[in-house]
Structure 1
Amino acid sequence: MRKIVGLIAAGLLLAACGTSGTPSGGAPASGQGFTPPSLPALQQLGQPEGEVNILAWPGYAENGSTDPSVNWVGPFERQTGCKANVKVFGTSDEAVSLMKTGQYDVVSASGDASLRLVAGGDVEPVNTALVPNYADVFDFLRNRPWNSVHGVAYGVPHGWGANLLTWRTDRVNPAPTSWSVMFDPNSPYKGKVSAYDSPIYIADAALYLMVHRPELGIKDPYALDEKQFRASVDLLKQQRPLVGEYWSDYLKQSQAFKNSDAVLGTSWQVTVNTMTSAGAPVQAAVPSEGATGWSDTWMVSARSPHKTCAYKWLDYIISPAANAQVAEYFGESPSNAKACGATKDPNHCATFHAGDAEYASKIHYWTTPIAQCLDGRTDVKCADYAEWTRAWTEIKG
C-alpha cells in the first residue's frame, strides 16, 4: 500500500484502513482509504502439496483432540490428501502476530484483525472462482468492509455471532438483562466477573455508554474521540475491581465458571455450549444494550507454500456439511445458506438468525479502530488501535 506498511510494523495499527464513514454494523463502505500491497490472487489450483498449516479460533478446526466426537479436520484430510496442522489462537492480536511469522497458510480472522493483515501484506486476495462453495455464501456476508478492499475479496466468510452476557443460574439472581451487572461498581458479584482479555473489549464499554450516557454522542463503539474514549477507559478502570479474571482461552473460562470462580461474564456461545454439556448451570443472552460480535473470514497467507491445500481448506470449511458442524459446535450462524439443511438441530439457523441481514446489521462487529473516525466524522480525531492497546495496559494495571 505504497509503504503504509511501516506504520503498522508493530501490528498495532490499521493505518487509514477501515470502513470509511460506515459504522461497523452498517452498509458496506464505499472506500477504505488505503491502497493494499500489490499481491496477486492464485489463478489456478495445482497438485495438493500434502499439508496445510491452519491458524484458527478455538472451535473452528476441530480434529477430535478437544472432543473425540467432534472432528471435521479428519474428513478434510481424507478427501484432499492435505494433512492439517492446526494452531489455535486466543485473540486477534495473537493471530496477527503469528501470521507475520509466515508459518501459517490460512487464518480465521475477525474484523479487528483482517484488514491489519491486508494492510501488512500478510494475506493476499482470494480468487473466489477457485472456491466453488463461495457461490452459496449469504449475499450480505460478501464484500464487507472487513473481508474485502475496493471490491476485491481477501477471503471467504466463515460465520458470525454476538458476544454474550453469561451467568451461573444458581449464583446470579435475578437473571440479568443489562450489561450493568458487569459495570455497576456496586455489583454484588465483585471478584466473580469474567471479562475478555483484549484491547477490543474497550468497545464493550463504549457500547454500554451509547445507551447509558447518550450525552457522549457515541454512534459506533469503534469510533471514539478523545472524550468518548476516555469515558470508555474510565468505565473499564471502574470495572477492574469487579473482574476476577480476564480470559482469552475459552476452555479456561469454562473451568472458572464450572468451579464458580466466575459467575458472570462476557463469553462466546462455544463456551456456553462447553459448560452446559458438562452440566454447569449457565445461561447466556444478548442484553438490552445489544452486543459486540464477530464476522470471521478465512484468509490465505501471502507467503503460503501450500496454496492449493489452502484453497482446498477454504472450500471445504464453508461447504454445507463442514460449515454446519462448525456453526453448531461453536454456536454461531453459518455463512453457507445450504448449511442450514445440514445441521443436526433443524432450528439452529432460526436460533442464530442465519440469513437474517437485518439482525446481522445490528451487531457491532469487531473492527480495528483508526484515527479516521469510522462513524464518518471528519472534524475530530478518533483513538486508533495503538491508543486502545496502551489504554488496555493501564486498565489491567
Structure 2
Amino acid sequence: MRSTPRTLIRHSTVALSALALATVTACGGASSPEPGAGAPAPGRSGFTPPKIESLKTLGAGEGQVNLVNWAGYVEDGGNDPKVDWVTPFEKATGCQVNAKTAGTSDEMVNLMKTGEYDAVSASGDASLRLIAGGTVAPVNTALIPNYADVFAGLKDKAWNSIDGVAYGVPHGRGANLLMWRTDTVKPAPDSWGVVFDPASPYAGKITAYDSPIYIADAALYLMATKPELGIKNPYALDDRQFQASVDLLKQQRKLVGEYWSDYTKEVQAFKSGDSVLGTTWQVIANVAAADKAPIEVTLPKEGSTGWSDTWMIAAAAKHPNCAYKWMDWIISPQANAQVAEYFGEAPSNAKSCELTADPKHCETFHAADEDYYSKVWYWTTPIAQCLDGRTDVTCKDYSEWTRAWTEIKG
C-alpha cells in the first residue's frame, strides 16, 4: 500500500512491547549482543559499527522504493487531496512509492530486519539499534544535495551519526508537550507536576503516552525535582533512579483514566472531557483545536522528552538509487515544509521556513531555536552502558524498561 490514515501516528501497544522484549537486546537488534567490558555500545565513544559501504555514485532509479514510516510522513493525497508530496516525487523520479506505516519504533526495527524495505524514518530510540545490528548503511551525503541546508543542530548527533559519519538525513523534530482543557484545568499549568500530583483534582481524567519510553518522562521530572537521585540523563537510569521513576509511574497509574496510543482517541477524549490533562504532540493539539476542543499546550519548565527522526537506508536495499532520491526529496525545501506543517513539527531544512503555508510555522515549532531544543531530551534507546558517561554502575536496558512498563500498567 502507499499511504495510510493518520490514526496510526506513533501509536504503541503493550503487545508490540512484549514482542520487542523477545527480539531486542540491550542495544537493540537480535544480531547485536549486549556489549560487555571493553565493547562500547552504540552512542558511546569507541563504538565501532559493522563495516558497511555507502553508495558511491547515484544511478538511475529502479522504478520503486519501499518505505517504513511514521504515519503522516508519506502522504499521496489519499487522506487529504490537498496533502501530497509523494505524487510529485514519483513523477519527477519514476520511483513508485510503497509505504508501510509502523506504529512504534520496535515495529520499525523488526520490519527493517525483514530485508523487504529500502528506507525508514527512524526515531532516536530505533536508529542506534538499526546501526548496531548492521541493518542500515552509512549515507553518502554528497549524493543528497539538500543535506547542505539541514539545520546544523540536527547533524552529526549521537542517534544519527558515528564518529562523524552520517547514517541518515534528519527529517524533523518535535517535543512531547503538556496539553490541558482550558475550561477545566486552572490555573494554566507550567510543570509536569500536575500529571503526577497524588492529590490531583483531575484524577481519572489524566492521560499518558502508552509506551515503555514514557518512563523517561517520569525520570525527567525527577531529574528536576529530586536532585538527590543524581539523574543526569532520563535514558540512563541505575537501579535506584529507575525504581524511583517506576514508583512515580505506579503512583500516577491511580490518576490515569486512559493511556493513549491511537492519537484519534486522545483527540476524542479531550473533546468529550473524558481527558483534561496529559502528554501530547503538537499535531494532536492541532487536530483537537481544529475540532473546537478548548485546549492549550506548553513545554513545561522541567523540559520534555521528544523526537528527532532520521531517514535511514537499508544496508541491503534493493532500490538504493530510488531510496537516495527519496531522502533528498523529503528534506527538500518544499516537501519538508509540507510534511513538517502537516505533521506538526519543526522542519529539518532551514529553507523550508520560507515555504510553509503558515508564515509563523517555524517560529511556532522553534525550528531554529537551539535553546528551546536544549530542553528536549530526544528519544534514545536505554542500554546497559550508562549513556550519561558513568562506568561504575550498570543502567537499565530497554528490555527492563519494557518489563517494568507492563508491571506499571498492571
With the length of structure 2 as denominator, give the TM-score of the two structures: 0.88
| Partner of residue 228, structure 1 | 241
CA distance in 1, matches of 2:265, 2:86: 23
State yes or no: 1:391 paired with 2:390. no
CA distance in 1, matches of 2:156, 2:167: 9
CA distance in 2, matches of 1:200, 1:354: 24
Deviation at 1:359, TM superposition (A): 2.7
Cα deviations across residues 213-240 of structure 1 (Å, max 9, x unaligned)? 1111111111111100000011111111
CA distance in 1, matches of 2:54, 2:91: 26
| Partner of residue 380, structure 2 | 367
| Partner of residue 3, structure 1 | none
CA distance in 1, matches of 2:270, 2:86: 29
Given the superposition, is the C-alpha separation of residues 259 and 304 from structure 1 closer, same or farther in structure 2, using an over 3 Å criterion? farther
The one-letter amino acid paired with 1:196 is Y
State yes or no: 1:104 paired with 2:128. no
What percentage of residue pairs aligned between the two structures are identical?
Answer: 68
Given the superposition, is the C-alpha separation of residues 256 and 83 from structure 1 closer, same or farther in structure 2, using an over 3 Å criterion? farther
CA distance in 1, matches of 2:227, 2:302: 12
| Partner of residue 92, structure 1 | 105
CA distance in 2, matches of 1:276, 1:52: 35
| Partner of residue 273, structure 1 | 286
Partner of 1:295: helix, strand, or coil?
strand
Answer yes or no: is the 8 Å Cα contact 2:208–2:260 preserved in 1.
yes
Structure 2 unaligned residues grouped into runs of 5+: 1-20, 28-33, 35-39
The one-letter amino acid paired with 2:343 is F
| Partner of residue 210, structure 1 | 223
| Partner of residue 308, structure 2 | 295
**Higher mean displacement: 222-231 or 355-364:** 355-364
2:87 is matched with which residue: 71, 74, 82? 74
CA distance in 1, matches of 2:71, 2:25: 22
The one-letter amino acid paired with 2:212 is P
Q: What aligned pairs does 1:251-266 form with structure 2 within 5 A after superposition?
A: 251-266=264-279
The one-letter amino acid paired with 2:385 is Q
Deviation at 1:262, TM superposition (A): 2.1
| Partner of residue 7, structure 2 | none
Partner of 2:367: helix, strand, or coil?
coil
Answer yes or no: is the 8 Å Cα contact 2:50–2:134 preserved in 1.
yes
| Partner of residue 187, structure 2 | 174
Answer yes or no: is the 8 Å Cα contact 2:49–2:134 preserved in 1.
yes
Q: What aligned pairs does 1:1-397 form with structure 2 within 5 A after superposition?
A: 10-14=23-27, 15=34, 16-20=40-44, 31=45, 33-397=46-410
CA RMSD of aligned residues (A): 1.7
Deviation at 1:146, TM superposition (A): 0.4
With the length of structure 1 as denominator, give the TM-score of the two structures: 0.91
Answer yes or no: is the 8 Å Cα contact 1:64–1:70 preserved in 2.
yes
Partner of 2:121: helix, strand, or coil?
strand
Answer yes or no: is the 8 Å Cα contact 2:26–2:384 preserved in 1.
no
> How many residue pairs get matched?
379
